[in-house]
Amino acid sequence: MTKLITVLNGPNLNLLGQREPEKYGSKTLVDVEVEVTTLASELGLKVLFQQSNFEGGLVEMIHAARETSAGIIINPAAYSHTSVAVLDALNTYDGAVVEVHISNIHKREEFRHHSFVSARADGVIAGCGTQGYSLALRHIATLV
Ligand code: DQA
Protein backbone atom coordinates (compact mmCIF):
# COMPACT_ATOMS: atom_id res chain seq x y z
CA MET A 1 0.00 0.00 0.00
CA THR A 2 1.21 3.55 -0.78
CA LYS A 3 2.62 5.18 2.34
CA LEU A 4 1.09 8.43 3.53
CA ILE A 5 3.15 11.41 4.74
CA THR A 6 1.31 14.08 6.72
CA VAL A 7 2.65 17.60 6.08
CA LEU A 8 1.67 19.99 8.87
CA ASN A 9 1.94 23.77 8.83
CA GLY A 10 1.50 26.00 11.85
CA PRO A 11 0.19 29.51 12.41
CA ASN A 12 0.33 32.23 9.77
CA LEU A 13 1.58 29.86 7.08
CA ASN A 14 -1.85 30.11 5.43
CA LEU A 15 -0.60 33.59 4.44
CA LEU A 16 2.54 32.28 2.74
CA GLY A 17 3.23 34.35 -0.37
CA GLN A 18 1.65 37.47 1.18
CA ARG A 19 3.37 37.32 4.56
CA GLU A 20 6.86 38.93 4.80
CA PRO A 21 7.87 37.68 1.31
CA GLU A 22 11.45 38.88 1.86
CA LYS A 23 11.72 36.15 4.55
CA TYR A 24 9.36 33.47 3.30
CA GLY A 25 9.26 33.99 -0.48
CA SER A 26 6.43 34.56 -2.91
CA LYS A 27 5.01 31.05 -3.26
CA THR A 28 1.69 30.33 -1.60
CA LEU A 29 1.01 27.32 0.58
CA VAL A 30 -1.10 25.91 -2.27
CA ASP A 31 1.93 26.27 -4.61
CA VAL A 32 4.00 24.33 -2.08
CA GLU A 33 1.27 21.69 -1.72
CA VAL A 34 1.23 21.17 -5.51
CA GLU A 35 5.05 20.83 -5.63
CA VAL A 36 5.15 18.39 -2.71
CA THR A 37 2.22 16.34 -4.04
CA THR A 38 3.86 16.04 -7.48
CA LEU A 39 7.16 14.96 -5.94
CA ALA A 40 5.36 12.49 -3.66
CA SER A 41 3.86 10.67 -6.62
CA GLU A 42 7.34 10.47 -8.24
CA LEU A 43 8.64 8.96 -4.99
CA GLY A 44 5.73 6.53 -4.69
CA LEU A 45 4.25 8.31 -1.66
CA LYS A 46 1.01 10.13 -0.87
CA VAL A 47 0.76 13.35 1.11
CA LEU A 48 -1.91 14.87 3.31
CA PHE A 49 -1.17 18.61 3.43
CA GLN A 50 -2.69 20.51 6.38
CA GLN A 51 -2.45 23.87 8.15
CA SER A 52 -3.75 25.20 11.47
CA ASN A 53 -3.42 28.50 13.26
CA PHE A 54 -4.20 26.71 16.55
CA GLU A 55 -1.85 24.75 18.80
CA GLY A 56 -4.60 22.24 19.65
CA GLY A 57 -5.38 21.85 15.95
CA LEU A 58 -1.79 20.77 15.31
CA VAL A 59 -1.91 18.40 18.31
CA GLU A 60 -5.07 16.75 16.92
CA MET A 61 -3.57 16.46 13.43
CA ILE A 62 -0.51 14.72 14.95
CA HIS A 63 -2.81 12.33 16.86
CA ALA A 64 -4.66 11.53 13.61
CA ALA A 65 -1.31 10.84 11.88
CA ARG A 66 -0.62 8.11 14.47
CA GLU A 67 -3.26 6.01 12.73
CA THR A 68 -2.65 7.01 9.12
CA SER A 69 0.89 8.15 8.35
CA ALA A 70 4.36 6.65 7.98
CA GLY A 71 5.93 10.09 8.49
CA ILE A 72 5.27 13.67 9.47
CA ILE A 73 6.86 16.75 7.93
CA ILE A 74 6.11 19.69 10.19
CA ASN A 75 6.71 23.41 10.04
CA PRO A 76 5.37 24.33 13.47
CA ALA A 77 6.03 28.04 12.71
CA ALA A 78 5.92 30.14 15.92
CA TYR A 79 4.86 27.09 17.98
CA SER A 80 8.35 25.67 17.34
CA HIS A 81 9.66 28.12 19.89
CA THR A 82 6.90 27.82 22.51
CA SER A 83 4.99 24.57 22.35
CA VAL A 84 5.65 21.69 24.71
CA ALA A 85 2.19 20.42 23.66
CA VAL A 86 3.29 19.95 20.03
CA LEU A 87 6.50 18.23 21.21
CA ASP A 88 4.51 15.95 23.54
CA ALA A 89 2.13 15.06 20.70
CA LEU A 90 5.08 14.21 18.43
CA ASN A 91 6.51 12.07 21.23
CA THR A 92 3.35 9.88 21.01
CA TYR A 93 4.07 9.31 17.33
CA ASP A 94 6.19 6.34 16.22
CA GLY A 95 6.98 7.26 12.59
CA ALA A 96 9.63 9.49 11.04
CA VAL A 97 9.49 13.24 11.74
CA VAL A 98 11.24 15.96 9.72
CA GLU A 99 11.01 19.59 10.84
CA VAL A 100 11.07 22.35 8.23
CA HIS A 101 11.68 26.09 8.55
CA ILE A 102 11.53 28.18 5.42
CA SER A 103 13.88 30.78 6.89
CA ASN A 104 17.14 30.10 8.72
CA ILE A 105 15.89 30.45 12.29
CA HIS A 106 19.50 30.45 13.56
CA LYS A 107 20.27 33.62 11.63
CA ARG A 108 17.26 35.45 13.05
CA GLU A 109 16.22 36.78 16.48
CA GLU A 110 17.56 34.77 19.43
CA PHE A 111 14.07 33.65 20.51
CA ARG A 112 13.80 31.71 17.23
CA HIS A 113 17.05 29.79 17.75
CA HIS A 114 15.47 27.14 19.98
CA SER A 115 12.80 24.75 18.70
CA PHE A 116 11.09 22.36 21.13
CA VAL A 117 10.17 20.17 18.13
CA SER A 118 13.83 19.57 17.20
CA ALA A 119 14.17 17.32 20.28
CA ARG A 120 11.90 14.81 18.47
CA ALA A 121 12.76 15.47 14.82
CA ASP A 122 14.82 12.89 12.91
CA GLY A 123 15.95 15.70 10.60
CA VAL A 124 15.72 19.49 10.52
CA ILE A 125 15.82 21.67 7.40
CA ALA A 126 16.07 25.43 7.80
CA GLY A 127 16.88 28.31 5.50
CA CYS A 128 16.29 26.56 2.16
CA GLY A 129 13.12 28.50 1.39
CA THR A 130 9.93 26.67 0.47
CA GLN A 131 12.16 24.15 -1.34
CA GLY A 132 12.79 22.82 2.17
CA TYR A 133 9.48 20.93 2.05
CA SER A 134 10.61 18.97 -1.04
CA LEU A 135 14.00 18.32 0.56
CA ALA A 136 12.19 17.05 3.66
CA LEU A 137 10.03 14.75 1.54
CA ARG A 138 13.08 13.32 -0.25
CA HIS A 139 14.69 12.67 3.14
CA ILE A 140 11.60 11.17 4.77
CA ALA A 141 11.23 8.86 1.75
CA THR A 142 14.52 7.27 2.83
CA LEU A 143 13.27 6.78 6.40
CA VAL A 144 9.79 5.27 5.92
C1 DQA B 1 9.20 29.65 10.44
C2 DQA B 1 10.13 30.39 11.39
C3 DQA B 1 9.42 30.75 12.68
O4 DQA B 1 10.30 31.42 13.56
C5 DQA B 1 8.26 31.67 12.38
O6 DQA B 1 7.54 31.93 13.58
C7 DQA B 1 7.37 31.15 11.32
C8 DQA B 1 7.94 30.46 10.18
C9 DQA B 1 9.87 29.38 9.07
O10 DQA B 1 9.29 28.59 8.32
O11 DQA B 1 10.90 29.96 8.76
O12 DQA B 1 6.16 31.38 11.36
O13 DQA B 1 8.85 28.39 11.00
* Catalytic site residue from 63, 81, 101, 133: 101
**Alpha-carbon gap, residue 23 to 60, rounded angstroms:** 28
Q: How many domains does the chain have?
A: 1
Ligand 1 atom index nearest CA of 76: 13
Nearest residue to 133 (alpha-carbon basis) of 29, 44, 11: 29
Contact 95, 65 (CB under 8 A): yes
User: What pLDDT shows up at residue 1?
Assistant: 85
Contact 58, 8 (CB under 8 A): yes
Interval between CA 2 and ligand 1 midpoint (Å): 30
Range(s) of the domain holding residue 133 = 3-143
Determine what percent of the chain is predicted with pLDDT higher than 70: 100
Q: Determine whether the shortest distance from the Cβ of 115 to ligand 1 is under 6 A.
A: no
Q: Determine whether the shortest distance from the Cβ of 75 to ligand 1 is under 6 A.
A: yes
User: What pLDDT shows up at residue 49?
Assistant: 98
Nearest residue to 115 (alpha-carbon basis) of 68, 86, 80, 67: 80
The per-residue pLDDT for range 41-97, each reduced to its tens digit, is 999 999 999 999 999 999 999 999 999 999 999 999 999 999 999 999 999 999 999
Supply the CATH number for residue 36's domain: 3.40.50.9100
Q: Determine whether the shortest distance from the Cβ of 77 to ligand 1 is under 6 A.
A: yes
User: Mean per-residue pLDDT for 100-104?
Assistant: 98
pTM: 0.97
Helix (H/G/I), strand (E/B), else coil: 83: coil
User: Mean per-residue pLDDT for 87-110?
Assistant: 98
